[in-house]
Amino acid sequence: MKTQLNKGQSLLMLGCFFGLASAADAAGNGDMAELDEVVVTATRTRAALSDAPAAVTVVNAQDIETKNVSRLGDLLDQVPSLYLRGGALGQSQGTIGTSSMSLRGIDQTRTLILLDGQPIQDGSSGKVNWRVPFVEDIARVEVVPGAFSSLYGSNAIGGVVNIITKQPDKREFTAKIKKGWGDACGEDASIYFRDKMDNGLGFVGGLGYQKRDSYVNDFVVKAQAAGVAGTPVIGAQAISTREGVPAFLVGDLGATPWNSTNATAKLFYDLNARDKIYAGANRQETRQDYTPFNTYLRNAVTGAPVSSGVLGIGGQRVALTNYDFTLFSFLPLQESTTRYFVGYDGTLGNDYLLKADLGKIRRNYNFTLASQTATWDSGTGTLSDTPNDGLDGTVQLSFPAGDNHFVVTGMALHKDSVNQQIYALPNWRVPGYRTAVNSGYNGDSTTVSIFAQDEISATDTLKIYLGGRWDDWETEGDNFSNTAPVGATRYSARSISAFSPKLSAVYKPSEAAILRTSFGRSFRAPTNQDLYVTTTSRGRTTAGDPNLRPERGTTWEVGGEFRFTENTRTTATYYDTRLSDLIYLMQVSATNSLRINAAKAKVRGIELAVATELANWLEFYANYAYIDSKMLENAADPLSVGKRLTDSPKNIVGIGLTAQQGSWSGTLNARYVSHIFWTAQNTDIVEGVPGSYDAHTMVNARVGYAFSRQVKGALAVNNLLDKKVFSYFLLPGRNVTAEIDFSF
């Protein structure tokens, strides 16, 4: 029989054994979770999983050990309803660390991503660099779907993904080396150390390095043009665009080799048995390069390579310029993130729990872009440099209020600042030589918040959560252009407030069943880029709107977890989200577009999962997500009404086996993702061509062997069936990685 602890006792426990956090997690990862595992994100306090007011999925230390992990996305490939463009990301295309994702059909700018409780969304665009967390330092990841602005404020429309790093609770030293072949050709290496001393002082430190040679994954496709055919060429392949327009494959943009470094250092000090202070810093940097492009075209008479001109392909006119081979060639592309943090986690008196933290993130992001007249080797261009900062502070007080209430309340500060400069380059290959500032913008957005949640133990089997958060958002900024049209605009400060309530209930009719339901409102504040950026490219100007309103979401859901036998558990959840004031680009003239609050949409779906132990050494799991997303209104793009939202697959299926027998371990899993749309009008219907987003199934396998307690090895094969799949970029073909780990 399990001992029942009240909330105050549970919160004062020193140890938390972090396994799988829910049946949804078990279904996603193959481990049979105990319902009394502890999670923190769903309530902002330590809570038994069985009491969590959401279908929480946890990726824990065992999952991390058994996966072929290069960066955070590799850990999330089996989370129900979570879609990552480009698959597992670690060996994928070289588009630096940023890649799109969606949770329950809601994209990453509307899904809050936290690192130890601090938002890591880019302060300019709202996107996420998935390489920021140092994989060796990740203790677990909690994925909490649903509306959570009531606890976390802006961006938490689709849910919250919280990456929780390790604390120094034991001595650990590891050194890892990984080598990849095929499309994963490259090396990984890391060292990691943590220790807890008798005097209460703890230390964590680590370094990691990754290098990829990359592979050809981005191609040049040209549609036929009206008019008389030009110089006859051979070597083109007749295909179509993703919209079905007849076209020719004429070349590729080369490979995109990259390297990435991570470093972390953290100090912890126990003031007493429960109270501690901590501080630390993390650093991540990625640099990406491009190899020369390849043209597949040859002059039909001389056989010389052809990469520009008015050409004739099979009697059809095709106009090709150098810009077709340099348009998406960013050289060099550099991204770095430095995070500093300090905090206190302890008690105030006998019954109050106090947590206070302050964190600052400094990001740098820059790339060069060739002009339309440039060649691969030289020519004018621009350097886009977008440093931006994030500042977050929280003070949280949690306490029992009588026998049946437990209250979590607090105040929070979030600030985003960005200062973008676009420089003119006489030679786009020499980014250090800048002759002038063409344009730029500055933006500052600050949110001050108060939040409270009451956990009400209505009966022994029913808990009710009632809470809300008040966010006061203020922003100001400016933009300027020193090239035609020359001008500068300063926008006065303005503010908007948002209240995000939420009501949830958790009912346990028996030891074998848990039922959950909730209703909540959420929002996303416009980014500084949405508000203040005005850009001109190829004669078209796109402008932000400093008067944009926050996007809004309303979500309700119902679901449950059911244990049919001791070793078999299932989950089921139905949810419905309504979105309003969505920000889209509206074309106001042939050469001008403006961001406006234009659209309403709905997303509803079903999540199903099952996990079972087939033998004492073998576990099976499977999950299925049905996501029905639809645009309801869109003043910016009326033809998108009735169409699916972008980055929102209709079906996601995960299935897998995990095994542990003696010194051997193994995983075999498959993930199916249905077709997604890149265009709001859903015109990209063709698959199997560059730029398309194909329905696909990826099968991965990994075998590990423990030579001793200190030495382990593993061999992994990604894309086991060698499927050719485009997710805009061509995804990696079958590739192999070998890894050896030393731990002491």
Count of CB atoms within 10 A of residue 687's CB?
Answer: 14
Beta bridge partners of 423: 383, 437
For residue 331, what pLDDT is reported? Answer: 56
Q: How many angstroms separate the CA atoms of 526 and 530, rounded?
A: 6
Rounded percentage of the chain residues whose pLDDT exceeds 70: 92
Q: Quick check: 158 and 127 in contact, CB under 8 A?
A: no
Q: How many angstroms separate the CA atoms of 23 and 364, rounded?
A: 39
Q: How many angstroms separate the CA atoms of 386 and 98, rounded?
A: 15
For residue 7, what pLDDT is reported? Answer: 43
For residue 564, what pLDDT is reported? Answer: 86
Q: What is the mean pLDDT of residues 260-276?
A: 95
- Write the CB contacts of 350 (distance below 8 Å, at least 6 apart in sequence): none
Measured between alpha carbons, how far is residue 341 from residues 134, 137, 358, 360 in Å? 15, 15, 6, 6
Q: How many angstroms separate the CA atoms of 120 and 361, rounded?
A: 8
Nearest to 235 by CA among 292, 299, 310, 291: 299
Backbone angles phi, psi at 501, to 5 degrees: -90, 160
Q: Looking at residue 582, what DSSP letter applies?
A: E
Q: What is the mean pLDDT of residues 442-451?
A: 96
Count of CB atoms within 10 A of residue 689's CB?
Answer: 19
3-class SS at 143?
strand
Is 7-218+253-293+329-743 CATH 2.40.170.20? yes
pTM recorded for the entire structure: 0.91
Both structure tokens of 652: 């996601």
The C-alpha angle 591, 595, 599, rounded to 5 degrees, equals: 120
Domain boundary assignment for the chain: 7-218+253-293+329-743
Backbone angles phi, psi at 30, to 5 degrees: 90, 0
Q: What is the mean pLDDT of residues 71-87?
A: 84
Q: How many angstroms separate the CA atoms of 675 and 693, rounded?
A: 6
3-class SS at 728?
coil
For residue 275, what pLDDT is reported? Answer: 95
Q: Regarding predicted confidence, which is higher, 25 or 276?
A: 276
Name the average pLDDT for the chain: 89
For the cut 80, the answer to whether the pLDDT of residue 14 exceeds it is no
For residue 19, what pLDDT is reported? Answer: 30
Q: How many angstroms separate the CA atoms of 436 and 482, rounded?
A: 9
Residue 443 CB burial class (10 angstroms; 0-12, 13-18, ≥19): buried
Lowest-confidence pick of 155-159, 372-376, 553-557: 372-376
User: H or E element: which one contains 65?
Assistant: helix 61-66
Q: Quick check: 566 and 513 in contact, CB under 8 A?
A: no
For residue 28, what pLDDT is reported? Answer: 39
For the cut 50, the answer to whether the pLDDT of residue 370 exceeds it is yes
Backbone angles phi, psi at 721, to 5 degrees: -90, 5
Q: Regarding predicted confidence, which is higher, 93 or 601?
A: 601
Q: Looking at residue 215, what DSSP letter applies?
A: -
For residue 71, what pLDDT is reported? Answer: 79
Backbone angles phi, psi at 323, to 5 degrees: -65, -25
Q: Regarding predicted confidence, which is higher, 505 or 214?
A: 505
Nearest to 122 by CA among 387, 431, 393: 387
**Longest pairwise C-alpha distance within the chain:** 90
Nearest to 121 by CA among 306, 516, 329, 388: 388
For the cut 80, the answer to whether the pLDDT of residue 445 exceeds it is yes
Count of CB atoms within 10 A of residue 485's CB?
Answer: 8
Instruction: Find where tokens 């918040």 sit.
Output: 449
pLDDT digits (tens, 9 = 90+) for 688-737: 999 999 999 999 999 999 999 999 999 999 999 999 999 988 999 999 99
Q: How many angstroms separate the CA atoms of 183 and 567, rounded?
A: 39
- Terminal Cα distance for the chain, rounded: 37
For residue 11, what pLDDT is reported? Answer: 36
Rounded percentage of the chain residues whose pLDDT exceeds 90: 73
Both structure tokens of 223: 């549609």
Lowest-confidence pick of 87-96, 263-272, 426-435, 589-598: 87-96
For residue 21, what pLDDT is reported? Answer: 32
User: H or E element: which one contains 324?
Assistant: helix 323-326
Q: Quick check: 500 and 21 in contact, CB under 8 A?
A: no
For residue 86, what pLDDT is reported? Answer: 67
DSSP 373-432: T--SS---EEEEE--EEEEEEEEEEEEE-SSSEEEEEEEEEEEEEEEEEEEEESSTT-TT
For the cut 90, the answer to whether the pLDDT of residue 376 exceeds it is no
Confidence at 412, pLDDT banded by 50, 70, 90: very high
